[in-house]
Amino acid sequence: MSNDAISADFVALALTGVQKLTPYQPGKPIEELERELGISGSIKLASNENPLGPSPKGLEAARRALEGVALYPDGAGFALRQALGRRLGVEVGCVTLGNGSNDVLELIARAWLGPGRSAVYSRHAFAVYPIVVQAVGAEARVAAAHARDHAQPYGHDLNAMAALVSGDTRVVFIANPNNPTGTWVDAAALRDFIASMPAQTLVVVDEAYFEYVEEQNYPDAMAWLAEFPNLIVTRTFSKIYGLAGLRVGYAVSHPQVADVLNRVRQPFNTGLPAQAAAIAALEDEAHVRESRAVNRAGLAQLTDACRERGLYYIPSVGNFLSIDVGRPAGAVYDGLLREGVIVRPVGAYEMPQFLRVTVGRKEENQRFIAALDRVLGA
């Protein structure tokens, strides 16, 4: 059927929130860049992936699991939820699996948000929050972030967020640490914020980068689950465990909250190889330690380079660094693409002069620094 034969306006027929929705834009794939520019040997420092690759134990488990992919996986993911329960010290009934933690965030919005309800999140917060809120027709209330000269520049201002919470607020999203800023909220401030929330307001603490953080006062929000029934903590296997391509994340919450999430969760939303790899990766402590050490050294390498060049950056506790390049970042991003280096412009986060750079291996970081010098010099 040709487009001329289409008589209906399918955009106009969509839900109001969906009509105006801008899809999430992932980092540019290496294959796409090399196909477009006819180059080879590119590197990707755009999507906060682990430069060491997947957990070796997880990879081997996924390979073994492939032999059984003619059959559906366990739709409830019991073995993985059991492994997470043992590792985290929670009951199996508190764990909800997702096709990456993005999936869990969407489930939360679908279960508790909609017209006549509101959600609160911070300016410059993870892009999935506004997408899922808008898609279900809820009201988005965006709190002002900390100023550039704050100790956590561009980070979550919990007082500003609390001021936007009202009787119709069903969800508050807090990324700790936040993507793309790398900023974080300390234990005392976060706990006080959660304690101040109404019982009917769910507080979602997104800890996708939890395993990378080494700050002394950084909280493990899961320790408060018994105290706060309205708390949901989300994490992922896409970052430090290196399983981004298998798509597996999870939420931990009060059992009743988990029951609601599982009512809207699609069956088999995590595949057999993903479940097997995640179980094995949980036990691969050597891979986690090495990944953390590489990240620590890489962050120092990138921040030292910024200081030497007089470039402002946001201090980060994640596996990425947001750098102010002193001009509209789109042209710098394009210049880096021609150098075979993929990073992430974050203009969509209202940070038009910033590039977010994933921490890579030492040689990858150096290649980015050298390419940036050439692009800025030009």
pLDDT tens for 281-294 read: 999 999 999 999 99
Q: Tell me which H or E stretch contains 304.
A: helix 285-309
Q: Which helix (DSSP H) or strand (DSSP E) does residue 236 occupy? A: strand 231-236
- Where the chain has pLDDT below 70, the residues are 1-7, 24
**How much is the pLDDT for 34?**
82
The count of other CB atoms within 10 Å of the CB of residue 89 is 11
Residues 182 and 143: their CA atoms lie apart, in Å, by: 17
Q: Is 122 helix (H, G, I), strand (E, B) or coil?
A: strand
- Which of 164, 222, 234 has its CA nearest to residue 196? 164
User: Is the Cα torsion angle 330, 331, 332, 337 positive or negative in sign?
Assistant: positive
Rounded CA-CA distance 53/378 in Å is: 33
Sequence-distant (≥ 6) Cβ neighbours of residue 3 within 8 angstroms: none
**Distance from C-alpha of 21 to C-alpha of 127, rounded to nearest angstrom:** 12
| 308's tokens | 């030497």
Tell whether omega for the bond before 115 is within 30 degrees of 0, i.e. cis. Answer: no
Q: How far apart are CA 349 and CA 351, in angstroms?
A: 5
77 token code pair? 């993911």
- Cα separation, 56 vs 283, whole angstroms: 11
What is the pLDDT, as a whole number, of residue 111? 96
Contact present, 265 and 47 (Cβ < 8 Å): no
Non-local (6+) Cβ contacts of 213 within 8 A are 177, 184, 317, 318
Domains and CATH numbers, the chain: 19-48+286-377 (3.90.1150.10), 57-282 (3.40.640.10)
Helix axes 101-112, 128-135, angle to 10 degrees: 30
E strand or H helix that includes residue 118: strand 118-122
Give the pTM: 0.93
361, amino acid identity: R
Cis peptide before 352 (omega within 30 of 0): no
C-alpha–C-alpha distance, residues 26 and 32, integer Å: 12
The encoded tokens of residue 127 equal 């892009």
Question: Given this model, what pLDDT does residue 5 score?
Answer: 56
Neighbours of 292 (CB within 10 A): 16
Residue 287: both structure tokens together: 């891979």
Backbone angles phi, psi at 95, to 5 degrees: -105, 130
pLDDT of 8 reads 75
Contact present, 258 and 274 (Cβ < 8 Å): no
Instruction: Measure the CA–CA gap between 183 and 152, rounded to whole angstroms.
Output: 6
